[in-house]
Structure 1
Amino acid sequence: MRFIVSIRRLSLVGLLFISWSCNKFVDINADPNNPVTPVLELLLPATQVSMAGSLRDVNQGTSIVMQHLYSSTTSRNFQDGTDYQQSWNALYTQTLNDIEIIIREGTRLQRWDYVAIAKLQKAYIYSLMVDMWGDIPYTDAAKGNTISDPAFESGATIYDKLFVLIDEGLADAAKGNFAIQPTTADIIYRGDKAAWIRMGNSLKLKLFNQIRLVQPDKAKAGIAALLSSNAPLITTNAQDFAFRFGTTETPANRHPWHRAEYQAGKSYYMSQGFIERLFNTDDPRIRYYFYRQTSNYTVGFTPTGNGYFGRYTGDATASPNDNALKATVGVYPAGGLYDNCPINNIPATNVFVTNSGATSAPKVVTNSDGAGSGVFPFITNAMVKFILAEAALTMGTTGDPKQLFQDGITAQLNSVNTISTTSGNSAPVLPAATITAFVANRTAQYDAADAAGKLNAVMTQKYIALYGNGMEAYNDYRRTGLPVLPAPIAPLNVFPLRLTYSITELSTNATISDKADQLQTAQQTTPVFWDK
């Protein structure tokens, strides 16, 4: 693992987004024979760009496993050592290495603002890596190329260290001036100290909730301490910890789903089961999440006959020449098109998914359709509300779970509106009255449910809201088993409880190479430490 010691000028940072179509990262490495002093205001945005880019394949794979998307192999629970190799390698050799440089150099210069941000980003990334892979290198990985074979540590041990790291980052934020200049050096929060403190506390909340099955006392006490101390959390959509993509095709900085789908050849089918979950429950997000390229395409695995042509999870049928027929991603979260076309077979009882005002005609999409200015939601206001609702229902922590359930749905619907109307995207907003009525409808279902049904309602609405972040949906499902997902039609393996390791790591790291095959096989069936 070698450090990246120089990157291009800040004016280019907005253009350093990953070239999604070819799955390659922009080369921002300096000549190792001519090292230069790291420049913090250039390194920080590079870590944020590479964080979003490095998580691409992980997010794609978990979105398929969680039936938000479909691919022919992953949806059948098949994975191998190349699926997430790029994410693993890039996180360690690029993103986390740059973060360690910021922590080291920022500490030397007493630039605690940069150090605080770097530590909080580090804690977030490593927590996700534990959630996805379980045991991973941590302490040794921070030493860069001085350690050629970093030792793997248990996920539980790393989580304990991450709670300490978050507290360190929050303490660093309180030291001296928090003065990121230019503010654009912080792509996510523009140097807003209060925003980073809210992010750190919200990350702690998420991790405490994550461990509630295996460390219930610690989880409950940790959440109680956050709430009783009025520690600031993410409480508005404007405070979301998220990565916003741009609008340009060349150089590429659009949302990766837009780049993959708004072209002649497409990478995915949409998940037919997820489409039908929204269609059959009268959920207005269906027009924002998906765009139909045809109005009526009926085949064996598309029974609705209304143009929502996707694939059921685990369908092993060969793919015909259907790129111009399959449904594709919509305006949220990918910055594609809003589906304002009439839908066949809408139930007469529908209130929210209707054909009122639907006057457009379907079209085959190209890269000139939609701006691509979507979002990668890492930790959002909606997520925080749903986490607090789950904690209140399962651990009795402070808060009204019903109100938090309502607030979570409302927050996410407003996030859909935000992406629909910014940065070149063009979609009508969901009116406030519609949002209120929809939330009331879901609340009535919540009120009618027993205790188990209330938790199912919370986790189902969170699952729908997490479209665009398959990693958190994957975490929730392994922890709660909710919502119930259809079994794959023709599975090739059992549901994966961890992601496969990078084959490069397994073959070159001397601490594990002699047992690489056993480790890789065990990933499919071994729960992460918090999954009981």
Structure 2
Amino acid sequence: MKVITLIRIASFVSLLFIGSACKEFIDINADPNNPTTPVLELLLPATQVSMTGSLRDVNQGTSILMQQLYTSNTSRNFQDGTDYQQSWNGLYTQVLNDIEIVIREGTKQQRWDYVSIAKLEKAYIYSLMVDLWGDIPFADASKGLTVSDPTFESGATIYDKLFTLIDEALADANKGNFAIQPTTADIIYKGDKAAWIRMANTLKLKLFNQIRLVQADKAKAGIAAILSANAPLIATNAQDFSFRFGTTETPANRHPWHRSEYQASKSYYMSQGFIERLFNTDDPRIRYFFYRQTSNYTVGFTPTGNGYFGRYTGDATASPNDNALKATVGVYPAGGLYDNGPINNLTSANVFITNAGATSAPKVVSNTDGTGAGVFPFMTNAMVKFILAEAALTLGTTGDAKQLFQDGITAHLNSVNTISSTSGNSAPAISAATITAFVANRTSQYDAADAAGKLNAIMTQKYIALYGNGMEAYNDYRRTGLPALPAPIAPLNTFPLRLTYSITELSTNANVSAKADQVQTAQQTTPVFWDK
């Protein structure tokens, strides 16, 4: 990638601040990206910070495509070569390059703990890049500046290599001592070997499930092997593979949604369709996901009467001066405010969304509201349960799909409680009784459905639980077409089956520059290899 030397130094700084990464965890006086002698305990946490920051734009875009957030052009299925350029460039020129340094230097030093973690980060990042972009540079990209025009490899080929890479990382974890010191050198798991082994097996599980429509036998055999071996998976919320943000503005380490929305100007509307999905199905997470700045909104293009003012996907009308009126992000996952105001139009049919104890008045939010101490949920206990439920239902793998469905909902409701009550966030917990009753309610709907309806129930609840991780929701929707999403009001294009490449990559890489326009256009309509 010829742009490496031009943007490399700037990218680390921008990802820390623009990408809302947690710089407070790392005290770096020297530039870890150009070290004279690579210092593993500085470089490894830098990869985790910059990974989180680099995924910001693709997470934002896919959250909009999946109708959980709204911006005008993206919600109309429009994308161009600058939309995800920062993510692409950051992942290649910063994160993956630094990961290769950790692997190379860790191997020299026989620090297999660092090597194992770096290989798992590498496998996770490349799997997401295949999922989002399809064909991407892989082997050549690992060679850094020695290859200026890396070859694009097929997603299917890369997936096969990633299964091997994960197995290598698991083997490395068992070589010598696994003793990351200080433990803050591993922001995510604090040097916990067992946690990284669970992450590795969970990543394999996710990738096997991802290919089930095109390689059903391989998917079933792979999942069965994991389960029959009792390979440890992420099985509790405390074991989630996620990135927790901090509470400070200087240095800036708050959740990116909090940083963009808890100010006078705002980047997004909330998706009216997603709000209504929760409201119309009596889902108690609505008060945690969204915060209303007004109790009533009865003028303009989306009269709601209850303050849940967002925009429908694909709405092309001009935006009025409504930053002080529109609903915004709540305490989960962004570390904003919990909405404890009365809701005007509840009925006796509402069991889980109620006005019990709702005494606060809405307010116009500012950067002093909430903490920003949110979460980026990469792979979670709830996700594992829903994956296993899907596999049991569709592939016949071991496990009770119904019980796993129930466990997935329960796990996510408890995740909402955790973020709502830690790191200075303040929100009442969803009570154990409410969780039990809500899960029973969704289970009754599951029981009443046929096989297709049961899969729809699993994927719908997973979709809701993926709020905050649009990338995985985008993956699931392209794989299964579930849950059904409304068509955009005024689309500019068909629903994109892949994200657009970085225009910088297409214009500078000799392997694709001569046909850059053709390659970019094909991204909109070409399925990723696992998308049947």
TM class by shorter chain equals over 0.9
1:17 deviates by 3.2
State how far apart, in whole Å, the 2-side matches of 1:267 and 1:444 are. 39
1:485 maps to what in 2?
485
Q: Does 1:174 align with 2:153?
A: no
Superposition pairs of residues 210-289 of structure 1, within 5 angstroms:
210-289=210-289
Superposition pairs of residues 495-506 of structure 1, within 5 angstroms:
495-506=495-506
Question: CA contact under 8 A between 1:283 and 1:353: conserved in structure 2?
Answer: yes
SS at match of 1:490: coil
State how far apart, in whole Å, the 2-side matches of 1:141 and 1:126 are. 11
2:16 maps to what in 1?
17
1:105 maps to what in 2?
105
State how far apart, in whole Å, the 2-side matches of 1:205 and 1:105 are. 29
Indicate how the Cα distance of structure 1 residues 31 and 14 shifts in structure 2: closer, same or farther if over 3 A, else same: closer
State how far apart, in whole Å, the 2-side matches of 1:75 and 1:517 are. 22
Question: CA contact under 8 A between 2:289 and 2:330: conserved in structure 1?
Answer: yes
Show CA shifts across 1:4-45 (max 9, x none). 9x99xxxxx9998333489xxx9x897899851000000000
Q: Does 1:530 align with 2:530?
A: yes
State how far apart, in whole Å, the 2-side matches of 1:34 and 1:467 are. 36
Q: Does 1:140 align with 2:140?
A: yes
State how far apart, in whole Å, the 2-side matches of 1:441 and 1:35 are. 56
2:470 maps to what in 1?
470
SS at match of 1:73: helix
SS at match of 2:16: coil
Q: Does 1:426 align with 2:426?
A: yes
Question: CA contact under 8 A between 1:288 and 1:330: conserved in structure 2?
Answer: yes
State how far apart, in whole Å, the 2-side matches of 1:106 and 1:268 are. 42
State how far apart, in whole Å, the 2-side matches of 1:213 and 1:134 are. 16
1:361 maps to what in 2?
361
Question: CA contact under 8 A between 2:15 and 2:54: conserved in structure 1?
Answer: no
2:318 maps to what in 1?
318
1:73 maps to what in 2?
73
SS at match of 1:242: strand
State how far apart, in whole Å, the 1-side matches of 2:218 and 2:340 are. 48
Indicate how the Cα distance of structure 1 residues 376 and 32 shifts in structure 2: closer, same or farther if over 3 A, else same: closer
Superposition pairs of residues 408-419 of structure 1, within 5 angstroms:
408-419=408-419
State how far apart, in whole Å, the 1-side matches of 2:250 and 2:338 are. 23
Show CA shifts across 1:160-196 (max 9, x none). 0000000000110011100000001000000000000
- Report the more deviating stretch, 423-432 or 294-303: 294-303
1:461 maps to what in 2?
461
1:10 maps to what in 2?
none
State how far apart, in whole Å, the 2-side matches of 1:73 and 1:491 are. 9
1:383 maps to what in 2?
383
State how far apart, in whole Å, the 1-side matches of 2:485 and 2:178 are. 45
1:303 deviates by 3.8
2:195 maps to what in 1?
195
Question: CA contact under 8 A between 1:3 and 1:97: conserved in structure 2?
Answer: no
Show CA shifts across 1:216-245 (max 9, x none). 100000000000000000000000000000
2:447 maps to what in 1?
447
Q: Does 1:204 align with 2:180?
A: no
State how far apart, in whole Å, the 2-side matches of 1:51 and 1:21 are. 11
2:372 maps to what in 1?
372
Q: Which amino acid aligns with 1:270?
A: M
Indicate how the Cα distance of structure 1 residues 186 and 492 shifts in structure 2: closer, same or farther if over 3 A, else same: same
1:57 maps to what in 2?
57
Question: CA contact under 8 A between 1:17 and 1:253: conserved in structure 2?
Answer: yes
SS at match of 2:83: coil
Q: Which amino acid aligns with 1:371?
A: T
2:328 maps to what in 1?
328
Show CA shifts across 1:353-406 (max 9, x none). 010100000000000000000000000000000000000111000000000000
Runs of 4+ in 1 over 6 A off after TM superposition: 13-16, 28-34
SS at match of 1:295: coil
Taking structure 2 as the reference length, the TM-score comes to 0.96
1:251 deviates by 1.2
SS at match of 1:158: helix
1:299 deviates by 3.6
State how far apart, in whole Å, the 1-side matches of 2:188 and 2:35 are. 28
Q: Which amino acid aligns with 2:74?
A: T
SS at match of 2:121: helix
SS at match of 2:483: coil
Q: Which amino acid aligns with 2:95?
A: T
SS at match of 1:180: coil
Indicate how the Cα distance of structure 1 residues 92 and 34 shifts in structure 2: closer, same or farther if over 3 A, else same: closer
Taking structure 1 as the reference length, the TM-score comes to 0.96
Q: Does 1:396 align with 2:396?
A: yes
State how far apart, in whole Å, the 2-side matches of 1:192 and 1:29 are. 26
Structure 1: runs of 5+ lacking an equivalent? 8-12
1:304 deviates by 2.7
2:340 maps to what in 1?
340
Indicate how the Cα distance of structure 1 residues 268 and 493 shifts in structure 2: closer, same or farther if over 3 A, else same: same
Structure 2: runs of 5+ lacking an equivalent? none
SS at match of 2:378: strand
Q: Which amino acid aligns with 1:17?
A: L
Indicate how the Cα distance of structure 1 residues 449 and 229 shifts in structure 2: closer, same or farther if over 3 A, else same: same
Indicate how the Cα distance of structure 1 residues 405 and 321 shifts in structure 2: closer, same or farther if over 3 A, else same: same
1:347 deviates by 1.9
1:348 deviates by 1.3
Indicate how the Cα distance of structure 1 residues 32 and 222 shifts in structure 2: closer, same or farther if over 3 A, else same: closer
SS at match of 2:265: coil
Q: Give aligned pairs, total.
A: 524
Q: Does 1:507 align with 2:516?
A: no
1:48 maps to what in 2?
48
Indicate how the Cα distance of structure 1 residues 502 and 16 shifts in structure 2: closer, same or farther if over 3 A, else same: closer
Question: CA contact under 8 A between 1:19 and 1:253: conserved in structure 2?
Answer: no
